[in-house]
């Protein structure tokens, strides 16, 4: 295995050029860089990717307009209406590690119908359609976002195939974690981090993402996203125009036995006079997949690379311990219940009582 990389700790996030894949030599270089980023960093930028820049630019222009919709039209599509946990959450509705996250957001997802029926597991109720703002108030937005999500979904599958190749599993090495397209739904959020007064600058507190892959569009020029390196220092991940930030979630870390790193990250509220915007896309795995039933077999020379990484310091994040027991859909549902207890209390009263036997203090806890 070639290794032009040292295993020393990172102080910046690597940039990978997707256009390297156009030639066989380039592809092999890309896979080397990818393997390094997966094992030692858990975060990377992807440049020259396959998502249309015209659609991205158009989405970015819509975002301030989306948040500027009249409060009553945002409330009309509030998440509490949706057993699928899709819709609008006002500022300050979430906590991470006990502190208020200062962000306002809309949860959307790739197109899906409701398919839960009597007798199905509860987590099938996560599948369902988005709540869209009134088309007359923001004409064309739905169309652009749907197009964008389709393309990011495609890229996320291609990227997971590249991850499998870089780990010596072959291009279909991770396919067993996905269901047929009809049974897959991926989630995304459009997030606004306002400028805040006072000393709490928690945009979103330290956490890991839950699923396999997150593809994040930084949709304004603000810094604020930070990533915890192996020794626990916070490293900036500033916006780089024309790129996605890709990071790995706890499920991928779990199924790779820790070879791929889920990396702790947070967002600090913006300084200055304008809000920070971002669009994270969370690639899911099949809702019925139980991670413990899938044991991946890596070539020994790949496994050996984990030992060169060295120890990973304790991070500031906590979350997701249920993967060793529950199907992935149930883990997601529990995460949603913790993030949005008001929605859970209304639509999942039994589960709500299990997660919050003593009720909750009126705020959600994001992770």
What is the binding site for ligand AKG (CB under 6 A)? 189, 191, 204, 209, 216, 225, 265, 267, 278, 280
Q: Strand, coil or helix: what is 282?
A: strand
Task: Give least dist CB 284 to Fe ion, A.
Answer: 14
Dist CA 147 CA 188 (whole Å) = 13
Q: Residues 93, 363: contact at Cβ < 8 Å?
A: yes
Q: Which is nearer to ligand AKG, 165 or 209 (CB)?
A: 209
The entry of Fe ion, ligand AKG, none that residue 328 binds, CB within 5 to 8 Å by partner kind? none
Q: Which residue is nearest to ligand AKG (CB)?
A: 278
Q: Which does 267 bind (CB under 5 to 8 A by kind): ligand AKG, Fe ion, none?
A: ligand AKG
Give me 80's structure tokens: 């509490």
* Closer to ligand AKG by Cβ: residue 275 or 327: 275
In the complex with ligand AKG, the residue whose CB is nearer, 153 or 166, is 153
What stretches of 87-231 show up as alpha helix (H) in DSSP?
141-166
List 188's β-bridge partners, or say none. 108, 281
Report the C-alpha gap between 111 and 150 in whole angstroms. 9
Structure tokens at 138: 């923001």
Q: Taking the CB of residue 73, how many other CB atoms lie within 10 A of it?
A: 14
Give the C-alpha distances (Å, rounded to integers) separating 172 from 153, 255, 272, 294.
17, 15, 46, 14
Residues 190 to 219 in contact with Fe ion, rule: CB under 5 A: 209
Closer to ligand AKG by CB, 173 or 206: give it. Answer: 206
322 binds, among ligand AKG, Fe ion, none (CB under 5 to 8 A by kind): none
Whose Cβ is closer to ligand AKG: residue 59's or residue 169's? Answer: 59
CA within 13 Å, CB half, 173 = 21
Q: Which does 268 bind (CB under 5 to 8 A by kind): Fe ion, ligand AKG, none?
A: none
From the CB of 250, what's the least distance to Fe ion, in Å? 11
CB 37 within 8 A of CB 14: yes
Q: Choose among Fe ion, ligand AKG, none what residue 191 binds, the Cβ cut-off being 5 to 8 Å by kind.
A: ligand AKG
Smallest gap from Cβ 320 to ligand AKG, in A, equals 12
Closer CB to Fe ion, 160 or 247, in the complex: 247
* Nearest by Cα to 219 from 279, 161, 267, 293: 279
- Positions touching Fe ion (CB under 5 A) are 209
């Amino acid at each position: 295995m070639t290794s032009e990389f040292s295993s020393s700790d990172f102080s910046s996030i690597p940039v990978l050029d997707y256009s390297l894949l156009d030639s066989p030599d380039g592809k092999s270089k890309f896979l080397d860089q990818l393997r390094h980023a997966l094992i030692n960093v858990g975060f990377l930028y992807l440049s020259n990717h396959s998502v249309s820049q015209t659609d991205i630019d158009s989405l970015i222009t819509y975002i301030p307009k989306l948040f500027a919709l009249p409060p009553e039209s945002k409330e009309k599509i509030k998440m509490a209406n949706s057993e699928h946990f899709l819709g609008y959450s006002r500022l300050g509705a979430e906590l991470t590690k006990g502190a208020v996250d200062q962000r306002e957001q809309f949860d959307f997802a790739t197109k899906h119908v409701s398919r839960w029926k009597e007798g199905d597991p509860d987590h099938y109720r996560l599948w369902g359609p988005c709540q869209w703002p009134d088309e007359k108030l923001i004409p064309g937005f739905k169309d652009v976002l749907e197009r964008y999500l389709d393309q990011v979904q495609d890229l996320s599958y291609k990227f997971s195939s590249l991850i499998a190749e870089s780990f010596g599993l072959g291009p279909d090495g991770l396919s067993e974690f996905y269901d047929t397209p009809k049974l897959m739904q991926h989630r995304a959020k459009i997030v606004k981090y306002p400028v805040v007064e006072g000393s709490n600058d928690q945009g979103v507190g330290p956490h890991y993402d839950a699923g396999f892959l997150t593809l994040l569009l930084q949709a304004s020029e603000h810094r604020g996203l930070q990533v915890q390196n192996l020794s626990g220092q916070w490293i900036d991940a500033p916006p780089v125009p024309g790129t996605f930030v890709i990071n790995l979630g706890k499920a991928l870390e779990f199924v790779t036995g820790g070879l791929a790193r889920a990396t702790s990250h947070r967002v600090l509220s913006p300084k200055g006079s304008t809000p920070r915007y971002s669009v994270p896309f969370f690639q899911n795995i099949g809702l019925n997949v139980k991670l413990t039933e899938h044991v991946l077999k890596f070539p020994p020379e790949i496994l050996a690379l984990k030992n060169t990484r060295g120890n990973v310091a304790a991070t500031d994040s906590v979350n997701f311990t249920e993967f060793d027991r529950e199907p992935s859909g149930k883990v997601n549902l529990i995460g949603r219940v913790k993030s949005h207890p008001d929605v859970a209390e209304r639509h999942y009263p039994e589960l709500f009582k299990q997660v919050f036997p003593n009720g909750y203090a009126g705020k959600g806890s994001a992770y």
